[in-house]
Chains A and B, each alone.
Chain A
Amino acid sequence: MFARMCGIAGSTEDPDGRLVRAMCATLRHRGPDDEGVHCDPPAGVSIGARRLSVMDLDGGHQPLCNEDGSIWAAFNGEIYNHRKLREDLRRRGHSFTTAGDTEVLVHLYEEFGEAMVHALEGMFSFAIWDQRERRLLLARDRFGEKPLFVHEHGGELLFASELTSLLEVKPSLRELDPYAIDAFFVFAYVPGPGTIVPGVRQLPPGQLLSWRRQDRRCEQRSWWSPPQRGSRRRESFAAVAAEASELFEQAVATRMVADVPVGVFLSGGVDSTLVASAAARTSSQRLQTFTVGYDVGGVNETERARSVAAKLGSEHHEVTLTQADVAGRVPALLASLDQPLADRATVPLHALSEFARPRVTVALGGEGADELFGGYPRYRRLEQARRVHAALPTVALRPLAGALRASGGLAAASRASRRLAPTPMIERNLDWVTAARRHLRDGLYGPRLAELDRSRVLTDLGLRAGELDGGTAARWLMHLDQVHYLPDDVLVKTDRASMLVSLELRSVFLHAGLAELAGSLDTSMHLSGAGKALVHSMLPAGLISSSRGGRYRKTAFRVPAAEWLRGPLAATLGEQLEQGSIYSEGYFDRGAVAQLAREHASGASDHSDRLWPLLAFGLWADRFHGLERR
């Protein structure tokens, strides 16, 4: 089931490349087609790469170097504008020996040093070893599409595309961080820049890390972050929409470039429909579209996707994720992830990637549109709540909320009551997106987590969110999602689920120009209508039907998790409760979780929001502890 994806690894304490070769071996799933290691024995530095061939199928061996062999690069990802850059660099006198994108990096580095990253449009993490300066440069793309894990110890560096690789060669790092577990339970993902183990961190999106042999010092700095301060006026919507549309077309065109077949993951929602329609116009061949459905539960998007595909004339493929498939796929998938991840959509995305892989090597997706263009309804709702708070004196809010609650029964009154409650915006948002799991920790945590400072999750989240900076609450929340949920959940899910089956998933919306345009607009422009107004404006008329008020229903490969936990995953959940290490090691309270499981199984309650993270973490932790016991 699991082939293996592109990845890089390196060490500053590995003169003969032994460690790096061992790390690369664990990355085989990321890059099944090729492996290479470059060593600089006097400096003690080795860098390596495993490669999945998407462009320059035969000539892209890595690491590779510049004309005189003084600059070496190991690269994971895609540089969408590499052909244009290649022409620019040729004009400056650089010569190329391959047709792939990695070679562009070494010559760009020669020209611009670390500022080279600003010329790159793409998803990437890479390492450059400058033999003359004895300097190692690590970089990660703007949004965090490609991972990079770093262990720094005593002035030396060890890095890899996967945490697992580092643990493989440095067993002493195999120790779980209780605070990371706490954060995982609250968020259902491990927030960066930390990881699930205390000794390893992630290079954050849009950051560079520079290390020099001479003084063995690391310098890390941000080279790009999403703008979060919009203009002060409402511009002509038509003019902005035209610019967004032009940038989007460019993004699609550059992401369609590959020497292998390209398809589109189509849920039938606005984002993927827009991607598919633009790709269909760009593609010289009949476009292939893919969607996933289920044999249980009320969630099924196949009909909508089929309808869009018929209108686009694409060659459409559907896969049904059956309960029997779920029983086998989910435990293996959740256990195999590099870090624990409880985003349920990982499952259909993995199934869809696996299904599409024999037909296409690259697929386009619509990830990031909601975060950049204001697609989540909560932005608007919480902004409304903030305005209510600003307009009413604090002394009036609590009694008013209480009165509304007491009026009972009416859903509208209940909603209004919640909005009026004097809870800080960041907590309100957190509880909205996490089903308020943080409030269940007392009852579910075992002795290993009992003594934790529970407030740290919020403190860390506040640091990532930054200041409101005079903007709207909606803008602030969009920014928070762009630097937290997007890189640490959405993009982890897309990278891992697709790379596990050696398929490359490219997001069209994660385009620097589009993101910068989105970030520069007055927030009200995003939130007008049903939200994500710019994206809606780009959608060709008649492709998908809107419901009342011209609003489009949200679809995004949703998952019948509650049914699965009662059906095909009930046995796995039971095994976890009996033998799982997260209970035997004292991280979670077996009795309390068993009670939740019983209530869920009986149909009396839907506890899938709690049980899924526990199942995901339990399965992952068992593998982790298995590694530890080896």
Chain B
Amino acid sequence: MDSSAAESGRAATRPRLLILTPDFPPAPGGIQVVVERLAAGMDGFETLVLAPDGPGAGAFDAATDLRVQRVGGGARLRGGRSALLNAAALRAAASFRPALTLSAHIVTSPGAAAIRAALGARTAQYFHAEEIGARPRLAAFAASRADLSIAVSAYTAQLIAATGAQPRRARVIANGADVPADASALPAERPTILTIARIEERYKGHDTMVRALALMLAKVPDAQWVVIGEGSLRPAIEALARGYGVDRSIRFLGAVSDRERDAWLRRARLLAMPSRLPAGPFAGEGFGIVYLEAGAYAKPVLAGNVGGALDAVIDGETGLLVDPLDALAVADAITALLRDDALAARLGAAGRKRAEQQAWPLVAARVQRELLELLEAR
């Protein structure tokens, strides 16, 4: 038997998994990464990914080993994209006949529920965080209709519980990280603090970083804050930095290539992202994959002591967790990591070890195990 025949024979024996997702590469973002790494890492299934079409999607799909079906149009209509995706999910399921549907975001939960009702496919629902705060009723629907609810952190699980939903089966599976083979440090001209996040949500704490920088520069005057990421709040953060007189110590790089991002992770002394909980009913950081990714480069991290960061960062071991609203505390922690070589090295090494334990293939295997158990439990 040749290898393709072996593969097709194996496929015939593997249960079929339909992944519904509104976020998938090459579009940038954390959820996109989660879904792609899970889909790629779960080889116990014959998988079909259903995702929206977008710029560069054709080239991406041609280059990947994954089977991806794209849904086009509707992006201009509010909610139109999700409606089209859910409608397409039913059509795809009718021909693909999945044993299991994994809804990667609550907006695809109606499609997953419909497939369950029409075809009897079991349903797993992934929860991140922000979407639960923004649409609690839909989140409650998703959690109550799914056979399995997977939260990316204990914080996310709390958010699900706060909607009043009672999931049939619930698991917390922390997100993963890509672990580079070469994580060696690169020389930096100045002590560098790195933040990697879209400048779109206030809770990411770019504003606190500006305030902290103004204090921190008194202790480490030659430090620089390198900000990777683009977003509509960028002009406001730049204006804030000018108002504090610290703009000369900041480099806003905007969106950069993965290669450049990785180079900065190697150059930086630490990664800082003091995410806070948003006020009101809104949700904050579900996990913070970037904390693990920094660990993968043996970099210590500074994070807020709230939300998903509590699962992503082990305080005093892989990074420092502080009150994300307290600029003085943020400044102190960053200063400590910039000045204390031994501390930074110890936390960085532990961060690398933790990233290895949370490498995406291992995380995907955990998710796969849960999904297979779900099928066996029929």
Contacts and interface: CB of A to CB of B under 8 A. Distances in A.
Contacts of A395: none
B240 A516 contact: yes
A111 B328 CA distance: 11
A242 B281 CA distance: 8
Interface in B320-378: 327-329
B217 interface: yes
A520 B278 CA distance: 16
A323 interface: no
A88 B235 CA distance: 32
Contact of A115 (B134, B215, B281): B215
B96 interface: no
Given A238-B280, A242-B280, A231 B235 contact: yes
Contacts of B328: 85, 88, 119
A229 B238 contact: yes
A41 B278 CA distance: 53
B211 A232 contact: no
A567 to B, nearest CB: 47
B282 A242 contact: yes
B215 A243 contact: no
Most A-side CB within 10 Å, residue of B211, B242, B244: B244
Given A222-B245, A233-B232, A520-B236, A118 B327 contact: yes
B233 A118 contact: no
A118 B211 CA distance: 7
Nearest to B134: A236
Contact of A227 (B215, B240, B245): B240
A231 B237 CA distance: 9
Query: Chain A: interface secondary structure?
Result: helix
Nearest to B218: A115
Nearest to B237: A520
A96 interface: no
B279 interface: yes
A432 interface: no
B262 interface: no
B328 to A, nearest CB: 5
A223 B239 CA distance: 13
A362 B202 CA distance: 34
Contact of B279 (A229, A232, A246, A520): A246
B227 to A, nearest CB: 15
Interface in A440-460: none
Interface in B200-216: 202, 207, 211, 214-215
A291 to B, nearest CB: 31
Contact of B235 (A118, A223, A232, A246): A232
A239 B236 contact: no
Given A231-B235, A243-B278, A115 B217 contact: yes
Given A118-B327, A231-B233, A239 B280 contact: yes
A226 B238 CA distance: 12
B79 interface: no
B55 interface: no
A223 B278 contact: no
A231 B232 contact: yes
Given A245-B279, A246-B279, A230 B244 contact: no
Nearest to A113: B218
B142 to A, nearest CB: 21
A230 B218 contact: no
A472 B215 CA distance: 32
A210 B135 CA distance: 52
Contacts of A228: 239
A259 B281 CA distance: 35
B239 A229 contact: yes
B56 interface: no
A239 B233 contact: no
Most chain B beta-carbon neighbours within 10 Å: one of A119, A229, A236: A229
Given A118-B327, A224-B244, A229-B235, A239 B282 contact: yes
Interface string A81-119: 000010010000000000000000000000111111011
B243 interface: yes
Interface string A205-248: 00000000000000001111111111111001011011101100
A228 B242 CA distance: 10
A235 to B, nearest CB: 8
Nearest to A232: B232
A10 interface: no
Contacts, number: 88
Contacts of B236: 227, 229-231, 519-521
Interface centre among A85, A221, A236, A239 (most CB of B within 10 A): A239
Interface in A237-278: 238-239, 241-243, 245-246
Nearest to A222: B245
Contacts of A224: 243-245
Interface string B61-80: 00000000000000000000
A225 B280 contact: no
Given A231-B236, A516-B207, A221 B278 contact: no
A242 B238 contact: no
B102 to A, nearest CB: 28
Contacts of A119: 215, 327-328
B248 to A, nearest CB: 12
Contacts of A113: 218
B226 to A, nearest CB: 21
A221 B243 CA distance: 11
Contact of A520 (B211, B240, B242, B282): B240
Interface in B292-331: 327-329
Contact of A118 (B215, B219, B278): B215
Contacts of B329: 88
Nearest to A469: B239
Nearest to A512: B211
B292 to A, nearest CB: 27
A520 B329 CA distance: 23
Nearest to B332: A88
A57 to B, nearest CB: 27
Contacts of A241: 280
Interface in A264-314: none
B352 to A, nearest CB: 30
B243 A225 contact: yes
Nearest to A239: B282
A232 B244 CA distance: 21
Contacts of A230: 235-236
B214 A118 contact: yes
Contacts of B245: 221-224
A239 B201 CA distance: 10
A313 B150 CA distance: 49
B208 to A, nearest CB: 10
B244 A223 contact: yes
A624 B45 CA distance: 90
A480 to B, nearest CB: 15
A245 to B, nearest CB: 7
A112 B328 CA distance: 11
Contacts of B235: 229-232
B215 A112 contact: yes
Contacts of B134: 236
Nearest to B217: A115
Contacts of B217: 115
Contacts of B232: 231-233
A-B interface, 5 closest residue pairs, ranked by CB to CB distance from nearest:
A242-B280, A229-B239, A520-B236, A115-B218, A242-B279
Interface of B: 134, 202, 207, 211, 214-215, 217-219, 232-233, 235-240, 242-245, 278-282, 327-329
Interface of A: 85, 88, 111-116, 118-119, 221-233, 236, 238-239, 241-243, 245-246, 516, 519-521
16 contacts: A88-B328, A113-B218, A115-B214, A118-B244, A119-B327, A119-B328, A222-B245, A224-B243, A229-B236, A230-B235, A232-B232, A236-B282, A239-B280, A246-B279, A520-B207, A521-B236
Given A221-B245, A521-B236, 9 more contacts: A115-B214, A118-B214, A225-B242, A226-B243, A227-B236, A227-B239, A229-B239, A231-B236, A239-B278
